[in-house]
Amino acid sequence: MAERQVSDFEIANGGFRKQAVPLIDSENEHKRIELVRAAVDLTKEATRAISITALETIREGAIFMGVIGSRGELLNPFRYIDAPIWKESEVPPHMIKTAYEYCEELTRREAGNFYHSFKYLPDFERKAICAYYAFCRRADDIADGDFVDIFPGGSSDDPESIEYRSVIENLSKGGAILDRSSYNDKMSQLFYYRKKLSTAYGDVTSTDPIFMAIKDTVNSFGIPRQLLDDMVSGMEDDFHMNRYHNFEDLYAYCYRVASTVGLVCIEIYGYDNIKAREYAESWGIFMQLVNILRDVAEDAKRNRIYLPIDDLAKYGISEDDILNNDNLVKHPGWKPFVEDYIERANSYRDKAFKLLPLLDKSSRYSPAAMAAFYSSILKKIKKRDGDVFSSRIQLSKTEKITLAGYVYIRYRFLAI
């Protein structure tokens, strides 16, 4: 099999340099892409280019405000700091505390069911989980929304960004599936988001409150960078793939965007049995499979089909049937497909619940509540014979409160 040379990034003395890497064809495609992604780091040159540090800004009179404005809006507490990098050896404790407050308020506003499951955790775990949620949420807002992150030189025209997205696009199976302008902007945004992430594992600290809190969380709980990088990679996958031909491909995607979340969470919850990692991975797969089934119609509007094409074909369901889904619920194959899909999802749910006895009682409620909420959504889908088209399936406030009370008593106080 012929080898070929691909321009790649390599960390060298804190910066980037190009390296010609011999690469084998498709069997190692994923590894090649991850090699490029893993090499993203903040360069020493970028740090030196910042003329003032956060400490100097404070000395010049920057005012630290709260995280909620006079109109109730969420505010970046460090918005008056011009420098994006804190270069001093230590960040003042009150800044870290404020960064966590920002993340928790963001989580409270945007996490819905998730925040309800977080709020009963011990304080130090709750703060860390909220910091991680804020990190994931902001990446999702960039990838799937219109949020624009701020980073010096972070334009889509920056040479570093151009080369990064060019290499990723060339190595990806489907190239870019977004329009060129959106693709360039979003890939560049996530490239610089990775640069911010590198500060959580380096000698400097970002003055972005999310990454300031993430760095403290990473240091406190020993969270591997690979898990956070993989989540961002899952966001990038959506720019290159809008069909999944088999469950194996879908599983890899679900792992990046959801299993990594479970794996980070258990590092925060704490565990002694190595089996916890297997069950946490299944926890993420289960929840993402529920999301995919619930959101079939919404995804179809964006020309996305996450349901495995091969599995659909077994029941006589085509891509056009999914995209034009007005009468899909009447398709003779839809109900049996959904039943089979739910059975598979529940097999991961059953493994996910095996995680709970491996966690301390003070931490069990959080994953138990999330799994229970999603189990209830899946039951509703089954009860409606797979009709996820006429209205969005969700739990009412009464259903959430009732279920949360049951889960809290069972998993916080009773033996499992």
| Contact present, 401 and 114 (Cβ < 8 Å) | no
Residue 122 in this model has a pLDDT that exceeds 50: yes
Rounded to an integer, the average pLDDT of 347-372 is: 92
The DSSP secondary structure of 184-236, one letter per residue, reads HHHHHHHHHHHHHHHHTTSSSEESSHHHHHHHHHHHHHT--HHHHHHHHHHHH
Q: Are 272 and 247 in contact (CB under 8 A)?
A: no
More confident residue, 35 or 300: 300
Per-residue pLDDT tens digits for 172-219? 876 899 999 999 999 999 999 999 999 999 988 998 999 999 999 999
Distance of alpha carbon 301 from alpha carbon 281, whole angstroms: 29
* Structural domains in the chain, sorted by start: 267-275+292-416 (1.10.600.10)
pLDDT at 61: 40
Contact in structure between 369 and 362 (CB atoms under 8 Å):
no
Q: Which residue has the tokens 């190692």?
A: 28
pLDDT, mean of residues 91-111: 91
* pLDDT at residue 52 tops 50: no
Give the residue among 247, 235, 211 at the shortest CA–CA distance from 344. 247
Q: Taking residues 286-313, what's their average pLDDT?
A: 97
Pairing mode, strands 4-12 and 15-23: antiparallel
**In whole angstroms, what is the distance from residue 124 CA to residue 219 CA?**
13
pLDDT value of position 305:
98
Torsion of CA 247, 249, 252, 256, to 10 degrees: -110
Mean pLDDT of all residues in 93-118:
88
- Rounded mean pLDDT, 32-37: 73
Q: How far apart are CA 192 and CA 416, in angstroms?
A: 44
The length of the chain, given as a count of residues: 416
Instruction: Give the pLDDT score at 113.
Output: 67
Which of 74-78, 225-229, 310-314, 378-382 shows the lowest per-residue confidence on average (mean pLDDT)?
A: 74-78
Mean pLDDT, the chain, whole residue set: 84
- Nearest residue to 338 (alpha-carbon basis) of 270, 292, 280, 399: 292
Beta bridge partners of 269: none
Confidence of residue 28 (pLDDT cuts 50, 70, 90): low
Position 66 scores a pLDDT of 74
Residue 287 in 3-state DSSP?
Answer: helix
Query: Cα(320)–Cα(338) distance, rounded to whole angstroms?
Result: 17
The predicted pLDDT at position 116 comes to 76
pLDDT for 152: 63
Q: How confident is the model at residue 398 (pLDDT cuts 50, 70, 90)?
A: confident
